[in-house]
Amino acid sequence: MHIRTDDFRVRPGDRVALDRWPTEVKRHYKSDADYRRRIHDQIQALSAQQDLFYAAHRSALLLIFQAMDAAGKDGAIKHVMSGVNPQGCVVHSFKHPSPEELDHDFLWRATRYLPERGMIGIFNRSYYEEVLIVRVHGDILAAENLPTELVERKDIWEQRFESIVGLERHLDRNATRVLKFFLHLSKHEQRRRFLKRIDDPDRNWKFSPDDMRERKYWKQYMRAYEACLGATSTKHAPWFVVPADDKDNARLIISEVILEAFEEIKLTYPRMTAARRKELQKIRKSL
């Protein structure tokens, strides 16, 4: 079953209404066995591409995952990237900012962890939190120690969108490809997953009272995501709204998007010069 990844891409300038984007679509696999086969094949293909990417050492890839609680970000990262060489991939999760981070501009803490050439960087949450949770909870913005005239600007979020788009344009110009995934979970499915975490002792550790507090702000978060996705999805750093009610389907979609990105980069192994070949032959004789 071919996955049309363009079906999930947010076009630049789109006015996003998330209630029109599905949280579940027709399965891209026929059975559990078919899913396991397909995800295995995709993981193997990603592994081969990552080896080539690391060897070429010409560009970097940044994958950003954003979602509501229990949408499956951790699982998607774990499963999709399970075949990737750990030496060529770095995952960074962004929690509540530290006092040091609050004393810098809002992009500072994330830019310190951008991937180097040949590497895949994964942000589990990211600088996008600054136009999502910070927008929903004004007290966080107040704690950033910005001048009052900046905090009270009516266009503060538009300014932050501009800063983000500018950063991602800069990254693109310097050979860092950016792919962004919003795992679109329904409120009903989140409730089901929360109950499962509460009822299953082995999953209790996954549930936090904070999760329920944030659920109360569901509508505010949806509005924040809509504004964010529409303002920051660009040709060089697109957003993909991935239906997340079916975790297996979501993982297949995400891995397909990443594979297509590798194909667009047109990777090749470094070319061997005559001088280098001669040097290797000399070394070979000495062995």
pLDDT in tens, 83-104: 888 888 999 999 888 889 888 9
**Distance from chain centroid for Cα 278:** 43
Q: What was the pLDDT predicted at 197?
A: 94
pLDDT tens string 105-161: 999 999 999 999 999 999 999 999 999 999 999 888 988 889 999 888 999 999 999
CATH class of 5-286: alpha beta
Q: Is the pLDDT of residue 272 over 70?
A: no
Domain residue ranges in the chain = 5-286
pLDDT tens string 26-56: 999 999 999 999 999 999 999 999 999 999 9
Kindly report the pTM of this predicted structure. 0.93
Cα separation of 1 and 27, whole Å? 9
Q: Rounded mean pLDDT of 74-78?
A: 94
- 32-56 and 247-265 are packed helices; what angle lies between their axes, rounded to 10 degrees? 30
pLDDT tens string 173-224: 999 999 999 999 999 999 999 999 999 998 888 888 888 999 999 999 999 9
Cα separation of 151 and 267, whole Å? 44
Q: Is the pLDDT of residue 8 over 90?
A: yes
Task: Answer yes or no: are the C-beta atoms of 181 and 122 closer than 8 Å.
Answer: no
